[in-house]
Amino acid sequence: MKIAGIVAEYNPFHNGHLYQIDKTRLSGATHIVAVMSGSFVQRGDIAIFSKWARAKAAILNGADLVVELPVQYALASANRFAKASIFILNELKVNMISFGSECGDVLMLKETAKLSTLAENSDMMGECLSKGMSYPRALEEVIIELYGYEYSKVIANPNNLLGIEYIKAISEINDKIEPFTVIREQVEHDSNITTDTISSASYMRELIEKADYEELFKFSPKSAYDIYIAEMKEGTAPILENKIETVILYKLRMMTLQQFSVLPDVNEGLENRLYRASRVATSLTEFYSLVKTKRYTLARIRRIVYSALIGITAEDAKSPPQYIRVLATNKRGMEIIANAKAGATIPIAPKFANLYKKSPIGLDLDITSTNIASLASPQIQPGNGDFVNNTIVIK
């Protein structure tokens, strides 16, 4: 077995994701496992379709196993998001990590990863942060100053940056895992520019919100498209933030200053800005504008807001994941699980009920996040979806 791991959100699954899976298979991978964000994603948002729909779409289009990245890591900064994902994939005994990048050069990404670590620990980094720069901007400035524009251009691209974080996590967790990158050369991250069959996930989400099914079909594998249409006809999708905006504002207004202070990525007095904004904002857009500064990016603020809603604290993401929850699998996926179980240090559960009996730390946060997402559908869904929806098995 040569097992390839992919870190994904599939929000939603589209032809670009299919292209990556096909390229990964052509690299020699006999088995492919994706660790996927569940009900919430790293940009600080609710996933537009349920985690089961997105996992099924992935299995029908070349993945063999889809496991869930626990929500406290799915809503974490890039380094914690990457580290938790690689930890899970290492438990599943992957031989390689496949990721998309604008660079397309593993050696260049490895070198940039080394320089990035040096830059992060430099005195200059602290000086840039003290001037009010955001972390990504400060890192770019330091790399330009110390190592030149060539490397700064690499970290300026979002997929490169995540790839660098995967490489850094691999070096820390298991340096025998091989990084493999698929160049992203047709459509940029979050771009509205499309080709004949490829678009960004953000453009796909716009089409879904507008119910532009004809355009959506162009950029989706047929089996994935059928899943999306079925969910939308049933009223379970799209799952959108504006459906629960009042719920979120209520939660923020009820929080104390101390409760804001223990949220992930809240430091250096940010809790004061969050607290003040929560008392006056009449919309989430207004809340974000009141909190956002050059130092605090919108994505960071959005992750903090959803962490507050779910009940995630800074402590929750400090330790590695405590379990591996299977969302969907096929026969080869079951082979991955069987191969991993012998040496795994945490439980791997194809059945949620079995995992719940063991009650690993953090599982309640995934249950809560699914319950919250069920309120954001066009038609409010019943709660306890994690107990009702079975693991998807494709034969």
The answer, yes or no, to whether residue 190 has pLDDT greater than 70, is no
The answer, yes or no, to whether residue 47 has pLDDT greater than 90, is yes
DSSP class of residue 14 equals -
Q: What pLDDT is recorded for position 192?
A: 53
pLDDT over 90 percentage in the chain: 83
Tokens, residue 137: 């901007």
Q: What pLDDT is recorded for position 195?
A: 63
Tokens, residue 17: 């994701």
- Dihedral angle over CA of 203, 67, 103, 147, nearest 10: 120
Q: What pLDDT is recorded for position 194?
A: 55
Mean pLDDT of the chain: 94
Q: What pLDDT is recorded for position 133?
A: 87
DSSP class of residue 70 equals P
**CA neighbor of 28 nearest in space, from 180, 138, 168, 172:** 180
Query: Highest-confidence range of 59-63, 103-107, 267-271, by mean pLDDT?
Result: 59-63
Tokens, residue 301: 């603020």
Query: What are phi and psi for residue 299, nearest 5 degrees?
Result: -60, -40
Query: What is the mean predicted confidence (pLDDT) over 160-179?
Result: 96
The answer, yes or no, to whether residue 136 has pLDDT greater than 70, is yes
Contact of 238 with 49, CB cutoff 8 Å: yes
